[in-house]
Amino acid sequence: MSRVYVSVALLLVALTSVSCRSVNFSMPWKRNLQQAPSTAMIPPNASAEEIIAAVNRQNEQIDSLSAHSASVSMPRTPSLSADIVYHKPNYLHISARTNITGKEFDMGSNPELFWFWVARNETPGVYYCRHDQYTQSAAASQLPIEPNWVIEALGVKPLDPTLYWQGPRPTSDGLFYELRAQEQTPKGMITRVVYVDRRTATIAAQRIYDSNKYLVVDATVRAVRRDALNGIYAPQKIDIFSPRDNFRLSIDLGTFDLNRISTDTLATWGIPQNLGAPMVNLADQR
């Protein structure tokens, strides 16, 4: 199973994961803003509560996001064309391919379970696990991240207002606020550091540290776009960095649609049945 988990780590880490103390972090201060507002959406000297509320007013309007001309790229590898579809709170489907080799991986999540499939695994399989069995499964010991953190890397989920948020600490240019909070998870206590762009009230970067202060997640939103129909700002380009695995991934959503997915389709949102590999329940693996 180890080779499978290496591929999966690259796939899921490909959408959030890491750990190392002395790292030159990429900072979100240079962002590509399309149609930036003339007046910042978060005022100067805003409190942590006001910043959280502003971000959540924005993200709570994002019911779904679909990108059918997206791309994912990594150093020294060809870019993959991708379809990326999200619907709140935890529906996700990512399918990537090349024009020559066809589909290369498929992964997704729904309220019951998550799954992944990698075309070039030595041990073919569609690997899946129920969310409520994840922490006791083989995946929890082999994968460095929680499955739901994949969605959080996109920066479209509301921030938890019940956490004790420290800050805000503004950057030197006054365009971003840093907030941090501790949070209990099934894997232990983590520290969440969030950078918010006060111009658009969007999440510019998220970093997760474990209880030993090692970086677990670094996801930076490099570009945001304002949806022409509803005026909502949403991420367009996301960079993921994993120092522990020396891994980098860039996601470009290209032209995407917000809130165009019918909820009628969610009932059939499950594991694709045409992947040509056996089903493997990670909860049964030890």
Whole-number CA gyration radius for the chain: 18
The DSSP bridge pattern shows strands 126-130 and 113-118 to be: antiparallel
Q: What is the pLDDT of residues 189-225, one digit of tens each?
A: 999 999 999 999 999 999 988 888 888 778 899 999 8
pLDDT band, residue 142 (cuts 50/70/90)? low
Q: Are 218 and 242 in contact (CB under 8 A)?
A: yes
Is residue 31 predicted with pLDDT exceeding 80?
Answer: no
Q: What is the reported pLDDT for 73?
A: 83
The SS3 of residue 281 is strand
Which stretch, 48-52, 113-117, 224-228, has highest mean pLDDT?
A: 48-52
Q: How far is CA 154 from CA 188, 202, 279, in A?
A: 23, 11, 28
Would you say domain 2-284 falls under CATH 3.40.50.12500? no
DSSP assignment, residue 253? -
pLDDT band, residue 274 (cuts 50/70/90)? confident
